[in-house]
């Protein structure tokens, strides 16, 4: 089951502006029944003001295709042709509160229908007649220009994303290399660089880990504790751990509390012992349990300078 | 969840009696059946009871022919991998184009990575197997034939006994994915040429995560999972004891309800189908209506898309399924619809209603009332449908 937003459901269950618009002077048709979705967008544009006075749609397709079409008509009515041309598929998806990644092509279909309708209104040649060779994806009839637009507008970086947004490559898969070439060209142009990794592949820093909240949320003492209470709770937790640490011939003491960072000093047999990391982890687990919030236990040596 | 559940080919409700049999396995009978003490022995006894129930449901000659697995996919993978390992010189596999992905994806892999020749037997417009192509594909080079007993999308039943006999004629192992057929079609594997058969618990009112593979006594077998000596070393890993006992209980109940599935449930399915075909223009039944599971009805509604149908059905409290591209996240309609050559105008709107012994007549009557309105509403939105004329119209756009 797709996780559709309430806005998508609203536009699917009660679509706005569905049906035929008589006397439309700007009509755009995209998609096909073979592909599984198709949209006919009809608009009446006032030739003097260039304002889109009315818009209607007919759609063959899934829930998100119908919702995207409905949203599109709502977004463009009252806009001038030039204002409408500035809309992207991203705007349609945003208007709907987002679409599942696999369904982004529905928003792209809306944006493409709008471009086609406006081109028809202006009497421009809508570039929908392709020489066989110009198409990247022959199964769904997608050319490089459409892929480039989707990549640029949506900041796509992978083949899978391009397929989700345009359907290109979603059938026989023989065009995957061509799509990757287009992707590489656009990415090279925009200079999109991948962030440098400071961790081993497949790993993240500890600071990137956020534990899921327990299902039956225990009364969160943290939110209700005053700073003094919180400090006392931390001190008590450390006191509870000390006997264990002392048993191993070491000791642990609280040095400072800085928000989520708790600085402790390990001494005796613990300092420099190979188990010290484990001890720190044990202290951290105890504190998280006692406080009901996430804290990080750090050695005092890591305290910011000047403290 | 409440509502009318007509998606029993996807999964079924666990029968309350099945659950009751399982619960003690989570509490007092927690032992490991391999252990040498009373805790283990109690569980071991229950597992052997369950094995006999599955044996009875399949009409197998020996209870030792039943190997418990995690489900249909594991059984399918085990069967094919076992046969090709047992007959390493035979480098061909015969299957059909309409199999479950558990078979098709494995065959694709064996073709690409291990150099096997895969014969994928086509079907005709009714979903029936091309028997000439099947006979031609058989030879002494074939290690295993794997053909499903009944299709999950259309319910179409293949002539398994005839297919198995032909396969045995060239010395090939014959396996059938009977996940949809077990519990709906009476079987007697003791008198059958079928060598291996896959079944899945959750399709017959047992829980998910349990299944079985029937392996005829004397058949060469190579395990897929290696490890301990469970299941006579044919499937290593500590037994899913609650699941196995659940499957045993479900098998026992399936035998009890087999007649109901083939009479009352079938009559309800026929009532639904007849009423929808009469009330909705431009729709048709996919698959072979004469050789079909008693619970399955797949209707292709032209000029609309399946996911939209399912969303509106769901809103009306009805659960069904679709071969449409959009429901799966893939971009193409189901491989079964395409294999039968169902036109694209209808393939996207193929909707499957699958009943079970839980289905009531009142539920079917409610569905009959709701569906025509939903189809009409979506056709009203479709650029391919002229509403007033109640017929398709010309519309030929192209993607930009």
CATH of the domain at A22: 3.90.1010.10
pLDDT per residue over A50-70, tens digit each?
999 999 999 999 899 999 999
What CA–CA distance (Å, rounded) separates B318 from B310?
Answer: 8
Contacts of B169 (CB under 8 A, 6+ apart): B138
Could you tell me which of A70, A9, A12, A61 has the C-alpha nearest to residue A34? A61
- Are A37 and A168 in a shared domain? yes
CA atoms within 13 A on the CB side of B329: 9
- In A77-208, which residue ranges form alpha helices assigned H by DSSP? 81-85, 89-95, 104-121, 144-154, 159-166, 176-190
Question: Is the pLDDT score of B268 beyond 60?
Answer: yes
Nearest CA in chain B to A8: B311
Does the residue A198 lie in any domain?
A: no
Give me the CATH topology for the region B16-254.
3.40.640
In a domain, A154, yes or no: yes
- B399, A31: Cβ pair inside 8 Å? yes
List all residues of chain A from 128 to 167 with a beta carbon under 8 Å from chain B.
128-129, 140-143, 146, 163, 167
* Those residues with Cβ within 8 angstroms of residue B334's Cβ, 6 or more apart along the chain or in another chain: B153, B323, B324, B328, B347, B350
Residues 6+ apart with CB under 8 A from A133: none
More confident residue, A180 or A248: A180
Q: Are residues A36 and A114 in the same domain?
A: yes
Amino acid A107: pLDDT = 92
Q: Does A263 touch chain B (CB under 8 A)?
A: no
Mean pLDDT confidence for A257-277: 75
Residue A307: band (very low, low, confident or very high) from pLDDT cuts 50, 70, 90: very low
Cβ distance of A29 and B381 shorter than 8 Å = no
CB B10 within 8 A of CB B72: no
Q: Do B400 and A62 touch (CB under 8 A)?
A: no
Q: Considering the domain boundaries, does residue A206 fall inside one?
A: no
What pLDDT score does B400 carry? Answer: 31
A174 with A249, same domain: the answer is: no
pLDDT: which is higher, B198 or B346:
B198
Q: Taking residues B285-305, what's their average pLDDT?
A: 95
Same domain? A177 vs A137: yes
User: Which residues 6+ apart lie within 8 Å of A131 measured at CB?
Assistant: none
- A172 and A78, same structural domain? yes
pTM score above 0.80: no
Cβ–Cβ gap A36/B381 under 8 Å:
no
Whether ipTM > 0.85 holds is no
B16-254 and B259-392 in the same fold:
no
Provide the H-helix boundaries in B30-138: 38-58, 72-86, 101-114, 131-137
Which residue carries 């504790």 as its tokens?
A225
Per-domain residue ranges of chain B: 16-254, 259-392
**Model confidence over A187-225: pLDDT tens digits?**
888 765 455 556 677 777 777 777 777 666 555 444 567
Residue B18's pLDDT band (boundaries 50, 70, 90)? very high
- One of 3.90.1150.10, 2.60.34.10, 3.30.450.40, 1.10.4160.10 is the CATH number of B259-392, namely 3.90.1150.10
H or E segment to which residue B274 belongs: helix B266-279
A148 and A58 together in one domain: yes
Q: What is the pLDDT of residue A304?
A: 76
Question: So what's the pLDDT on residue A290?
Answer: 80
CATH number at residue A266: 3.30.300.130
Residue A133 has pLDDT above 70, yes or no: no
Q: Do the domain assignments include residue A147?
A: yes
User: Per the structure, how many domains does chain A have?
Assistant: 2
Reduced to 3 states (helix: H, G, I; strand: E, B; else coil), residue B21 is helix
Interface test mutation site (partner B, options A22, A34, A57, A61, max chain B beta carbons within 10 A): A61
Mean pLDDT value of segment A28-35: 83
Q: Which of residues 162 through 221 in chain A touch B, CB cutoff 8 A?
A: 163, 167, 170-171
Q: Give the closest-approach CA distance of A192 to chain B in angstroms.
A: 27
Work out whether strand B117-121 and strand A261-268 pair parallel, antiparallel, or are unpaired: unpaired
B383–A59: do the CB atoms touch at under 8 Å? Answer: yes
Average pLDDT of span B367-383: 95
Please report whether residue A45 resides in a domain.
yes
Contact at CB, A36 and B332, closer than 8 angstroms: yes
State the nearest Cα–Cα gap between B310 and chain A, in angstroms. 9
Query: Does A19 share its domain with A94?
Result: yes
Interacting residues of B41 by C-beta distance below 8 A, sequence separation 6+: B31, B33
At A132, the pLDDT band (50, 70, 90 cuts) reads very low
pLDDT for res B245: 98
Active site residue A106: yes
Domain hosting A276: range is 217-302
Same domain, residue pair A164 and A252 = no
Q: Is the domain of A34 the same as that of A170?
A: yes
pLDDT at A222: 47
For residues A121 and A162, membership in a common domain is answered with yes
Please indicate, yes or no, whether residues A29 and A168 belong to a single structural domain of this protein: yes
């Amino acid at each position: 089951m797709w996780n559709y937003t309430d806005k998508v459901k609203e536009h699917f269950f009660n679509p706005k502006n569905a049906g035929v618009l008589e006397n439309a002077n700007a009509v755009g048709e995209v998609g096909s029944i073979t592909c599984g979705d198709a949209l006919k967008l009809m608009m009446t544009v006032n030739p003097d003001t260039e304002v889109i006075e009315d818009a209607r749609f007919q759609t063959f397709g899934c829930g998100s295709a119908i919702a995207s079409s409905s949203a599109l008509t709502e977004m463009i009515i009252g806009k001038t042709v030039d204002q409408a041309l500035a809309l992207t598929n991203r705007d349609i998806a945003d208007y709907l509160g987002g679409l599942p990644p696999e369904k982004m092509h529905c928003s792209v279909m809306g944006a493409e229908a709008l471009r086609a309708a406006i081109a028809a209104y202006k009497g421009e040649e809508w570039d929908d007649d392709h020489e066989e060779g110009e198409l990247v994806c022959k199964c769904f009839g997608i050319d490089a220009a459409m892929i480039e637009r989707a990549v640029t507008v949506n900041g796509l970086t992978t083949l899978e994303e391009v397929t989700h947004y345009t359907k290109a490559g979603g059938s026989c898969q023989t065009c995957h290399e061509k799509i990757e070439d287009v992707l590489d060209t656009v990415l090279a142009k925009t200079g999109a660089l991948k962030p440098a990794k400071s961790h081993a592949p497949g790993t993240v820093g500890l600071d990137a880990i956020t534990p899921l909240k327990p299902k039956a949320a225990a009364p969160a003492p943290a939110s209700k504790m005053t700073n003094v209470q919180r400090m006392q709770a931390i001190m008590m937790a450390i006191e509870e751990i000390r006997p264990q640490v002392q048993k191993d011939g070491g000791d642990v003491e609280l040095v400072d509390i800085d928000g989520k960072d708790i600085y402790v000093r390990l001494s005796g047999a613990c300092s420099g012992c190979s188990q010290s990391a484990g001890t720190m982890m044990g202290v951290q687990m105890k504190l998280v349990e006692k406080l009901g919030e996430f804290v990080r236990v750090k050695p005092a040596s890591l305290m910011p300078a000047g403290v | 969840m409440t509502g009318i559940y007509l998606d029993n080919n996807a999964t079924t409700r666990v029968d309350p009696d099945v659950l009751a049999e399982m619960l003690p396995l989570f509490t007092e009978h927690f032992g490991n059946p391999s252990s040498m003490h009373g805790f283990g022995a109690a569980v071991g006894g229950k597992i052997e009871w369950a094995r006999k129930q599955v044996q009875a449901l399949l009409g197998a000659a020996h209870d030792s022919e039943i190997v418990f697995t995690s489900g249909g996919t594991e059984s399918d993978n085990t069967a094919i991998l076992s046969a090709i390992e047992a007959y390493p010189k035979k480098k061909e596999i015969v299957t059909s184009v309409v199999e479950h992905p558990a078979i098709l994806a494995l065959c694709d892999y064996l073709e690409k990575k291990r150099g096997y020749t895969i014969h994928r037997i086509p079907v005709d417009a009714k979903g029936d197997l091309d028997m000439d192509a099947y006979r031609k594909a058989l030879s002494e080079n074939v290690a295993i034939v794997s053909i499903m007993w009944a299709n999950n999308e259309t319910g179409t039943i293949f002539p398994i006994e005839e297919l198995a006999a032909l396969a045995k004629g060239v010395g090939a192992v014959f396996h059938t994915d009977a996940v949809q057929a077990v519990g709906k079609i009476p079987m007697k594997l003791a008198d059958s040429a079928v060598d291996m058969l896959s079944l899945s618990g959750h399709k017959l009112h047992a829980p998910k995560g349990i299944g079985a593979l029937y392996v005829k006594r004397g058949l060469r077998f190579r395990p897929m999972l290696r490890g301990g000596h469970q299941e006579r070393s044919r499937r290593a890993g500590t037994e899913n004891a609650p699941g196995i006992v659940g499957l045993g209980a479900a098998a026992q109940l399936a035998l009890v309800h087999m007649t109901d599935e083939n009479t009352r449930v079938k009559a309800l399915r026929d009532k639904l189908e007849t009423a929808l075909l009469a009330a909705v223009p431009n729709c048709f039944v996919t698959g072979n209506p004469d050789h079909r599971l008693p619970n399955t009805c797949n209707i292709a509604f032209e000029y609309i898309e399946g996911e939209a149908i399912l969303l509106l059905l769901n809103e009306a409290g009805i659960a069904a399924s679709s071969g449409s591209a959009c429901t799966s996240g893939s971009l193409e309609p189901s491989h079964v619809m395409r294999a039968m050559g169902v036109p694209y105008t209808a393939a996207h709107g193929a909707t499957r209603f699958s009943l079970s012994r839980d289905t009531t007549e009142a539920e079917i009557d409610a569905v009959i009332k709701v569906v025509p309105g939903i189809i009409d509403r979506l056709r009203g939105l479709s650029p391919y449908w002229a509403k007033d004329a109640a017929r398709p119209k010309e519309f030929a756009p192209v993607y930009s």
